[in-house]
Amino acid sequence: MTRAWLLRLGLAVFLSAAMATGPAAAHGPVEKQPAGAAVDAAGTLETSQRAIGRMVGDYRFTDTTGARLALSNLRGKPLVISLIYTGCTHVCPMTTQRLRQAVEEAQRVIGWDRFTVITVGFDVRNDTPMRMAAFARAQGVDLPGWKFLSGDEAAASKLASDLGFTYAANAGGYVHVTQTTIVDRKGQVYRQVYGDDFPIQVFMEPLKEAVYGTVGSFSSLSGLIDRVRFLCTVYDPNEGRYRVSYAIAMGLLAGLISLGTTVIVISHAWLKSGRA
């Protein structure tokens, strides 16, 4: 089985599970969808994957306190985006609870101030700041750096389009892709995470890359520390959580010492031969 085939099969399962009841308006990420509209699994996956590398627009939303927030204000560090609707009784709550577990682990390992999380309601007629606040409380989300946002139809639909997030009204609710998006510090879509019970590693590994960078910068102490953290933070399947691997750290240190010693020996030999 190819990886693409497995992704298509998995997404079809996620989509079939994503139908939930609740008040809804018939609208979609690009254009309005008729009630009862179906979402093609293969096309949805292609739409989602095509979004990778796309710049997310500077849209404005309202948080649960009533304050306005522009997405451009969140640039400078990675951003995790989840789209839900508060009338959902199954998939959206499950996805949010799983994301809460993943974010708790990421904040413990990486640091709560190294990335931001937003949950955006796409059912704009019903996902008011009050409803979003109630949804957050119901899912037990009370973590620093995580905001629940409401917006108008233009902002919500354009954001969904930028993220490759497909949804359509169906039988009093919505059918939608179960997707969490990781955006890099520049505001570009970096990775998609699918499902409402995704493995922690599937979320953590791309987030680590987005936070620490896949190409290390050794021009500063902070860049060097980030590279060490990236290489030494590993998943422990026995404990089911991430930890710092001191064995890897010691291996890196030994390698640096060996490299430094080699440079010193070669430099000494070269200077000695020059004097001779």
Place of tokens 């927030």: 69
* Whether 269 and 166 share a structural domain: no
* Whether 128 and 110 share a structural domain: yes
CATH at residue 24? 3.40.30.10
* Whether 100 and 136 share a structural domain: yes
Q: Is the pLDDT of residue 201 over 70?
A: yes
* Whether 96 and 155 share a structural domain: yes
Q: Which comes out higher in pLDDT, residue 225 or 42?
A: 42
**pLDDT tens-place string over residues 152-166:** 999 999 999 999 999
Q: Which domain holds residue 255?
A: 221-275
Name the band, by pLDDT with cuts 50, 70 and 90, for residue 229. Answer: low
Residue 54 phi/psi, 5-degree rounding, is -80, 140
Picking from 192, 212, 232, the residue at the C-terminal end of a domain is 212
**pLDDT tens-place string over residues 117-133:** 999 999 999 999 999 99
Picking from 165, 180, 212, the residue at the C-terminal end of a domain is 212
Q: Is the pLDDT of residue 224 over 90?
A: no
* Whether 130 and 29 share a structural domain: yes
**pLDDT tens-place string over residues 242-264:** 655 545 445 544 555 666 667 66
Exposure of 189 in the CB half-sphere (CA atoms within 13 A): 26
Least trusted range by pLDDT, from 216-220, 235-239, 267-271: 216-220
Picking from 173, 194, 212, the residue at the C-terminal end of a domain is 212
What is the model's pLDDT at position 228? Answer: 56
The total of structural domains in the chain comes to 2
Q: What percent of the chain has pLDDT over 90?
A: 57
**pLDDT tens-place string over residues 75-99:** 999 999 999 999 999 999 999 999 9
* Whether 153 and 269 share a structural domain: no
* Whether 113 and 235 share a structural domain: no
In the chain, beta strands by DSSP E: 20-21, 60-63, 68-70, 79-84, 116-121, 146-150, 167-170, 173-176, 179-183, 189-194, 233-236, 241-244
* Whether 205 and 229 share a structural domain: no
Going from the C-alpha of 84 to that of each of 38, 59, 80, the distances in angstroms are 18, 17, 13
* Whether 164 and 239 share a structural domain: no
Smallest CA-to-CA distance from 202 within 232, 231, 179, 225 is with 179
- The tokens describing 218, both together, are 């050794």
* Whether 110 and 54 share a structural domain: yes
Q: Is the pLDDT of residue 14 over 60?
A: no
CB atoms within 10 A of CB 164: 22
* Whether 87 and 129 share a structural domain: yes
Name the band, by pLDDT with cuts 50, 70 and 90, for residue 213. Answer: confident
Q: What is the mean pLDDT of the chain?
A: 79
Smallest CA-to-CA distance from 179 within 96, 62, 59, 87 is with 96
* Whether 256 and 134 share a structural domain: no
